[in-house]
Amino acid sequence: MPYHIRPFAPEDAAGATEAYRAGRPHLVITPEVTNWLVGLPHYHLLVAERGGQVVGSARFGPVTESTTPHQGFLNVSVLPEHRGAGIATALLAAAERELAALDVRDVHGWADGTPEALGFAAARGYRRGRRAQFAGRDLTVPLPPLPPTPAGIELRTAADFLDDPYPIYLVDIDGTRAEPGDLALEDQSYEGWLAEIWQRPDQDHALTSVVLDGGEAVAFSAAQTDGRNYWSGFTATRSTHRGRGLAKLAKAHALRRAQERGLAAAYTNNDGDNAPMLAINDWFGYRVCAEEWKHSRTL
């Protein structure tokens, strides 16, 4: 059956989301989020249509905060039952052409840790790099007891910062600087953070925990939801307050609220070298459910 590659249209959101999630039940994303992402200035999306159905997608664009110029991201997904027909190869090639037109020279993406995905990337000239892992936890079984709250520490939610989220932005920027990665990144502007992080439609401010020390926001654990599952968007602590267990405290309260709301499962993704966060997730009972590998290629 023939297929064709074309730009994303709003009515493709459900199909493009399903192609992205197929075989990856640990992902927490909705068609609403897919439509929202395409509205961001640096995010581009192509779809593969076959027999009137969206069966694959390519998500790509420039890495706008990279201190090294000409960097881009690219990830491709195809429904399992439509693989082997050249669709992923066509999506990849079309996205690479568009990236080149955007003056991107080095492309970075992620491949699932399966022989098929890793072989696909290697055969097309992509070099394997960092490992990351997905982990999940059943929220219908008890969580560990809440860690004690140190003296002077207060727990709030992001919903308490709707009028002025700037204190949370400061924690996010500080935490991002310590994240493992291959590219050096400039600090994201506050306006960009509001548009791309704070206003993301699945960002759940009522579940996101914020830790205050003396009234100052010093840690948080961000939550995203699809109405059924919980995704840890980012857990961070100001550099001046690390080593006190505040990230664990924030995540403990966020998970407890997610459980009380009746969400079924919690998922997260972490760099394989992020030992502190991996240890926290192990303590909460997360178990590795999948892995992915960073890949790069010079166009």
Taking only the tens place, the pLDDT of each residue in 202-260 is 999 999 999 999 999 999 999 999 999 999 999 999 999 999 999 999 999 999 999 99
Rounded to 10°, the helix 275-284/246-261 angle is 40
Whole-number Å distance between alpha carbons of 91 and 105: 18
Per-residue pLDDT band at 184 (split at 50, 70, 90): confident
C-alpha–C-alpha distance, residues 55 and 72, integer Å: 24
Q: Domain 137-293: give its CATH code.
A: 3.40.630.30
Model confidence, pTM: 0.95
Average pLDDT over residues 150-161: 97
Is residue 1 pLDDT above 90, yes or no? no
> Across residues 248-275, what is the average pLDDT?
97
Neighbours of 192 (CB within 10 A): 15
State in words which class domain 3-104 has.
alpha beta
pLDDT at 42: 96
Nearest residue to 243 via CA among 276, 215, 214: 276
Dist CA 55 CA 120 (whole Å): 18
Return the pLDDT at 129: 97
- C-alpha span between 190 and 188 (Å, rounded): 6
Q: Please check whether residue 237 is in contact with residue 176, taking contact to mean a CB–CB distance below 8 angstroms.
A: no
Report CA 160 to chain centroid distance, whole Å.
24
Share of the chain above pLDDT 70, in %: 100
Domain ranges in the chain are: 3-104, 137-293
Strand order of the β-sheet with 44-50 is 3-7, 44-50, 53-62, 71-78, 106-112, 287-298, 127-138, 265-271, 229-237, 216-225, 209-213, 153-157
